[in-house]
Structure 1
């Protein structure tokens, strides 16, 4: 996969930035950036003026909201043309506007493509390649997604999805690391992750595996008991069959849990991994990361 960056970058995996030839460009105040951020979610798709107004002002827009949105778009066009030297990035498409950029302009798209490639590599029994691609994907993150827009409903919904996708990529990267024998390092990272995400059963299963392979069977069994207590107390559920199976393997020194054992197709399924994405309620469908616009 190419590492070449586009001349224009739209960075959303952290504070929202518009970058031209490696230099951040000031496009104006938070309202202008909010309009552009809303359009970045669905590049190549039209977002109505009404949706943009609702994003900026919620249920109480000013009387001249639509005219103000048009003014913001005009100012953004001028700023983008001046910074990137390109016309036609922001186009009018009734009933609103459309951002016309290569999907690879957006760091979130590059992240998802790299992460998907890493998952494919792991499924193909190429853990080193998987680790490299997932590390590169996660390296695109600079902080919380769309960090300044947590009060903008559609942008915040997209940020939530991206954060979940980030966590999933971390889990797959750890799985690749475990396949390569990096149990000790993985255990240290996982101890922090399960504290931050106690409902994520896959992380608990990975922690148990890392501890067991590091010769710490008692700690692996204790981790299961901690996970079970948290799941019952905080969420009212028992551990899923996948986590129970790892507990059984640890308890009985099952060879299936040893380093190098277990093809990716036999990885256990965990209840907390299902329904990972709740698609944000945009007025236009989200463009899949791998799709052209």
Structure 2
């Protein structure tokens, strides 16, 4: 079976054996087609992706060559793949079946995990979401030399990744695994200093484990970051967490929406 992975470096595999193209521009075209799999990608979109608004006069012919090379790769490596990459009147469509692309598998597992959490099955939800997160090998398309910062497709995938993390942490909180989460949450607040949800979970986990001084320090760190970077205070919900830590009351957790 031909499969594709983009949650990390670009990978093309046939029955587990890697056959990823090596030519940089061919890899870049494939990356865009995978990001927008099962949707037609216009030639103009490919031009912008490859040449950032400075396409040469030969762009159309060159793009056709890259498409030919991809189609040849698919047909060589996987019998019956002639309908995988389809030429449309306005562009090209890479048709992907369920299970062939890691982003599709990831999204499906996240939806299943969220449904389990909504049915109050945190144990099963945690396992499902952890499985989804294990598909991530690094930043999407980390080895493609393009301005990925400007890509809304990459931003969307990274937002889904954060959401999956929040849901899995929520499931683990419901299981009473606060102590085990502290180290992970410390790392997350460093990686995402403006994410108040992660900070709130760290405060809650520390307080739950009887580490009130550290919980208050975690709140202080958040307040300092928000003040220095944005001139803001923590949200009323997070301020309420601090008051509850100070008074020794049970901390009301901010649930993942």
* TM-score normalised over the length of structure 1: 0.82
Contact persistence 2:7–2:102 (CA under 8 A)? yes
CA distance in 2, matches of 1:249, 1:134: 30
Does the CA-based 8 Å contact 2:226-2:233 persist in structure 1? Answer: yes
Work out whether 1:31 is the aligned partner of 2:19: no
CA contact (8 A) 1:114 1:134 kept: yes
Q: 1:144 to 1:65 in 2, by over 3 A?
A: same
Cα offset for 1:204? 0.3
* Aligned residue number for residue 146 of structure 1: 141
Aligned to 2:15: 21
Match of 1:206 among 193, 201, 209: 201
Moved more, 163-172 or 130-139: 163-172
Counting matched residue pairs gives 256
The residue aligned with 1:267 is: 255
- Indicate which of 164, 170, 194 corresponds to 1:175: 170
SS of the aligned residue for 1:104 comes to coil
> Which position in structure 2 is the counterpart of 1:288?
none
Deviation sequence 1:207-230 (CA, Å, 0-9, x none): 011101111112112211111111
Q: Which structure ranks higher in relative contact order (CA pairs < 8 Å, sequence separation ≥ 6)?
A: 1
Partners of 1:190 and 1:206 within 8 A in 2: yes
Match of 1:127 among 100, 112, 122: 122
Once the two structures are superposed, the pairs formed by residues 1-293 of structure 1 within 5 Å of their partners are: 7-85=1-79, 86-149=81-144, 151-152=146-147, 156-255=151-250, 257=252, 267=255
Q: Is the 8 A contact 2:14 2:78 kept in 1?
A: yes
| Secondary structure of 2:153 counterpart | helix
Q: Distance in 2 between matches of 1:30 and 1:200?
A: 35
Listed one character per residue, the Cα deviations across residues 198-255 of structure 1 (whole Å, up to 9, x for unaligned) are 0000000100111011111121122111111111111222111221222233223333
Q: Secondary structure at the match of 1:151?
A: coil
Cα distance in 1 between the residues matched to 2:243 and 2:256: 13
Note the C-alpha offset of 1:36: 1.2
The secondary structure found in structure 2 opposite 1:105 is: coil
| TM-score of the pair, normalised by structure 2 | 0.93
- Calculate the aligned-residue CA RMSD, in Å: 1.9
- The whole-number CA distance in structure 1 between the counterparts of 2:25 and 2:256 is 45
Q: Distance in 1 between matches of 2:152 and 2:111?
A: 21
Deviation at 1:81, TM superposition (A): 0.8
User: Which runs of 5 or more structure 1 residues have no equivalent in the other structure?
Assistant: 1-6, 270-293
